[in-house]
Amino acid sequence: MYLRNSITIFVSIFCLIHDFLCNSTEITSGRIQVNGVDLHYQRTGSGEHAVLLLPGALGSSQTDFGPQLKLLDKKAFTVIGWDPRGYGRSIPPARDYPEDFFSRDATDAVNLMQALHFKRFSLLGWSDGGITALVAAGSYPLLINKLIVWGANAYVTEEDLALYNAVKDVSKWSPGMRKPLEDLYGINYLTSTFSTWVDAMTNIFQKFDGNICRHLLPLISCPTLIIHGMKDPMVPLFHPQFLHQQVKKSRLHLMPEGKHNLHLRYSEEFNKLVEDFLCSA
């Protein structure tokens, strides 16, 4: 009887340890209702430091952050990737772009993390997700631990609009850039949604003097890392320089060979930057 009980206890402990290790290293998926929308998210890791990954325009957790979900330190961090409303697997609803869509995404992102019971968390935002992260950090400063952005801008210029319009026709994108999004959305949804995004950015330029979140940058109080690829074809250097000037506790890191997707192309270097910054005092 004693031996049988000992074996049962051992097996139970082994199963608990196995489940914990699996749950902390696996990438799991879930859905949760936030602000009237069922948002899809992915989760991995078991660390005390919670981190939210914010994808770019038409992006999703899986298409935009594969190397981060797989390789960021799972003992140090609990990593959440999400699909903003109308993107990825957070459809329906279909994506739309009201004048406040960046603020809406920021509120969705913050409320998602609170619904998942994270009191404070850090933000990693790429491109549009970087803008959303800036808005969230400026609007909810008490909730944000640290902030990392790349490929982001706080305002829109004529130069930016020229760059956007040059790629408005998605049929002219490289196959490597277009195919993952075609597979995710289908060509019709991809084409119409990206075209509407370009129109929305044009509206911001015309109606709001290009301002997206310039007014919020001085309100960001958390330590901030701004990463910029010197070969980024979509975001001129003056944008990260402006962010660095306006965000008080920020530093700017330049990657000489980096392009817009530097976190995917140079994921090992990028992930080390992220981990070092998030773990620093």
Reported as a single tens digit per residue, the pLDDT across 4-53 is: 444 444 444 444 444 444 446 799 999 999 999 999 999 999 999 999 99
Burial class (CB in 10 A: 0-12, 13-18, 19+), 16: exposed
The stretch 103-120 carries a mean pLDDT of 98
Task: Check pLDDT > 80 for residue 112.
Answer: yes
Residue 22: the pLDDT is 42
Which residue of the set 128, 228, 232, 267 is catalytic? Answer: 232
User: Would residue 108 show up in a list of annotated catalytic residues for this protein?
Assistant: no
Least confident segment among 19-28, 144-153, 195-204, 227-236 = 19-28
DSSP state of 21: H
Task: Check pLDDT > 80 for residue 2.
Answer: no
Residue 194 near residue 168 (C-beta atoms within 8 A): yes
Q: Estimate the share of the chain in helix, then strand, then coil, as percent rounded to the nearest 5.
A: 50, 20, 30
| CA–CA gap between residue 44 and residue 75 (Å, rounded) | 10
Residue 133 near residue 103 (C-beta atoms within 8 A): no
Residue 186 near residue 214 (C-beta atoms within 8 A): no
User: Would residue 127 show up in a list of annotated catalytic residues for this protein?
Assistant: yes
**pTM tops 0.75, yes or no:** yes
Residue 280: the pLDDT is 94
Which residue of the set 40, 228, 239, 260 is catalytic? Answer: 260
Write the Ramachandran bin of 127: left for phi over 0, alpha for psi from -120 to 50, otherwise beta. Answer: left
pLDDT band at 3, cuts 50/70/90?
A: very low
Q: Which domains does the chain have, with CATH numbers?
A: 24-279 (3.40.50.1820)
Query: Where does 86-186 have alpha helices with state H?
Result: 101-115, 128-139, 158-166, 175-185
Task: Check pLDDT > 60 for residue 193.
Answer: yes
Name which residue leads in pLDDT, 22 or 156.
Answer: 156
By DSSP bridging, strand 37-44 and strand 77-83 are antiparallel
Instruction: For the chain, give the mean pLDDT.
Output: 93
DSSP state of 155: B
Q: What percent of the chain has pLDDT above 90?
A: 89
**Cβ within 8 Å of residue 4, ≥6 positions away:** none
The residues with which 28 forms a beta bridge, in sequence order, are 43
User: Would residue 215 show up in a list of annotated catalytic residues for this protein?
Assistant: no
The stretch 64-75 carries a mean pLDDT of 97
Using one digit for the tens of pLDDT, what is the confidence trace for 233-265? 999 999 999 999 999 999 999 999 999 999 999
| CA–CA gap between residue 46 and residue 22 (Å, rounded) | 10
Residue 35 near residue 24 (C-beta atoms within 8 A): no
DSSP 52-89: EEE--TT--HHHH-HHHHHHS-TTTEEEEEEE-TTSTT
Which residue of the set 61, 122, 127, 267 is catalytic? Answer: 127
pLDDT band at 228, cuts 50/70/90?
A: very high
Looking at residue 91, its amino acid is I
Residue 281: the pLDDT is 82
Query: Residue 63's CB: how many other CB atoms inside 10 A?
Result: 18
| CA–CA gap between residue 99 and residue 92 (Å, rounded) | 20
Residue 216: the pLDDT is 98
Closest residue by Cα to residue 237 from 221, 256, 210, 223: 256
Whole-Å CA distances, 111 to 79, 163, 165, 235, 251: 16, 33, 33, 29, 27
Task: Check pLDDT > 90 for residue 123.
Answer: yes
Whole-Å CA distances, 241 to 7, 8, 81: 62, 61, 27
